[in-house]
Structure 1
Amino acid sequence: MSMLLLIDAGNTRVKWALLPLAGMAERPLGDWSSSGHALHAEVPSLVQAWRGRGISRVLASNVAGAAMRERLQAAVDEANKGGPPTPVAWFSSRARLAGVVNRYRNPAQLGCDRFASAIGAHALYPDEPLVVATCGTATTVDAVTADGAFLGGMILPGLGLMASSLARNTAQLPEVAEHLADDQPFADHTDAAIVSGCLAAQAGAIERGVKAHQQMAGGRPVRCLLSGGAATLIQPHLAVPATRVDNLVLIGLQAVARDDKPC
């Protein structure tokens, strides 16, 4: 069976998913035969997960630089060793793709992961105005209109970067964050005070994005989608409802592949 390999190479991890090419147009978004992730240093281990899977098409989003691009192509080549070459199609932002219009001043400048996430979000929730908040190494808060226009967004340091900039032990961040009550913003010791301030900044940016987009949408309710590694820590502190959707980049890549347009 011929398989499609989707890859999301982020700043910290590489996520991937496999699904059959046959019947892809009818397959629900996020319904994959298998999936996984690896830290950057663990990329060579992906060869074992991909070997013998009949990969005949690869679509990848990469924001981790040229070296990662080379390592991923090498991993695909090694996984398919002995079979026909399978070049990786590198996803990039453009003016229009898979039902989303990119209104960035320079469409190509938009991070390909943000564009893929916007495509995935619009594909999952068509006809709804959306705020897509991805909480990873950086936090991005992007607005997509109900008819599929990517308006732009915000970029700020992620939760871990914010905490580390204040020179505290970020290894304890998840433990401290999980014990902070969302109705008690004023912490009584320094580590918790730093985490509380960082959580407030993250939540405040997302809430501001939702409010601004709702005003632009004429008061129509805006769905907030939350993804990324720090989403679990941030969500309890949000004053707006949020729908958790993991792997939005991979979902966006699946939507692009399903749309069968050049990427």
Structure 2
Amino acid sequence: MLLVVDAGNTNVVFAVHDGEKWRGSWRISMQTQRTCDEYAVWLRTLLEIEGLSAVNVTHAVIGTVVPAALYHLRQLSRRYFDVEPLIASPRLDWGFRIALDNPGEVGVDRLLNGLAAHRMYGGPLIVIDFGTATTFDVVGEDGSYQGGVIAPGINLSVEALHSAAARLPRIGVGRPEGGLVIGKNTNAAMRSGVFWGYIGLVEGIVERIRREFGAPMKVLATGGLAPLFSEGTGVFEHIDSQLTINGLRFLAARNPEPDLSHDKDHSAEG
């Protein structure tokens, strides 16, 4: 069974796949100081609830955009599951060309989304990920990663609005009541600006990417807020909450399984 770890700026997702289907998926907040022992107590308990145990895990893959979290996640795999994890990086065999000025600087989460999107939906396409940042990734018809757009995530924008303006309250993210644009109070006006502002951002950038790309493109959305924004636009053809973990699964299948380190407790990060 494959253990998949998707460690983002806000959350860490752990999932297990038995070769045919996902057997479980769990989320915990990202804290770079969290130790492998803390992860192990939490994760092994959740595995037991699903009728699984650590001995069922035979290989592992980790994808992270938070380098400081990697050491303890790697040690979790080594100490508690006795497997050496594959670490997602641009240097691995992705099965497609990374058409960037500097391929090494692209976040692996974006490559993982592109890999899974093309495998599952074909191309060309645009992948929109509503995460800590809102990213738009362009995948060619042949699966090549063509680049994209990075915009501030909606929660970052909401927090910045509250922090920078003394009289503006902190609001929750949601569709304005009745779908109205014109707010009749401060809270409603802010919710409208955030929700419809991001709808405008999404529709505008998608239209410009399509025009620049010069061919019809599918649009795929992922991330926790994708279903919310689908209520305000018809631009998404598919919503897939498991895109990144499927990308990790496909990447693990393409690359050799690393040998377990002989110095499991003290090997260097990297």
TM-score by length of 2: 0.79
| Pairing partner for 1:258 from 245, 249, 253 | 253
| Pairing partner for 1:46 from 38, 43, 47 | 43
Once the two structures are superposed, what CA deviation does each residue of 1:168-226 show, in whole Å capped at 9, x if it has no partner?
Answer: 544x413xx234444x2222222222222222332223223322333245342x21111
Distance 2:178 2:140 in 1: 33
The match for 1:55 is 57
Range that drifts further, 3-12 or 235-244: 235-244
The match for 1:90 is 87
The match for 2:34 is none
Distance 2:251 2:6 in 1: 14
Distance 2:155 2:54 in 1: 38
Distance 1:207 1:135 in 2: 14
Range that drifts further, 148-157 or 41-50: 41-50
Structure 2, unaligned runs of 5 or more: 32-37, 48-52, 163-167, 259-270
Instruction: Verify the 8 A CA contact 2:175 2:192 in the aligned structure 1.
Output: no
Question: Cα–Cα, structure 1 residues 157 and 216, in superposed 2: closer, same or farther, change >3 Å?
Answer: closer
| Pairing partner for 1:230 from 225, 234, 238 | 225
The match for 1:191 is 187
Q: Which amino acid aligns with 1:90?
A: I
Question: Cα–Cα, structure 1 residues 181 and 135, in superposed 2: closer, same or farther, change >3 Å?
Answer: farther
The total of aligned residue pairs comes to 241
What secondary structure does 1:105 align onto? coil
The match for 2:210 is 214
Cα shift at 1:257: 2.1
Matched, 1:178 2:175: yes
Distance 1:130 1:223 in 2: 4
Identical counterparts, % of pairs: 27
Cα shift at 1:262: 7.5
CA RMSD of aligned residues (A): 2.4
Structure 1, unaligned runs of 5 or more: none
Matched, 1:37 2:37: no
Instruction: Verify the 8 A CA contact 1:95 1:103 in the aligned structure 2.
Output: no
Q: Which amino acid aligns with 1:48?
A: T
Distance 1:38 1:125 in 2: 29
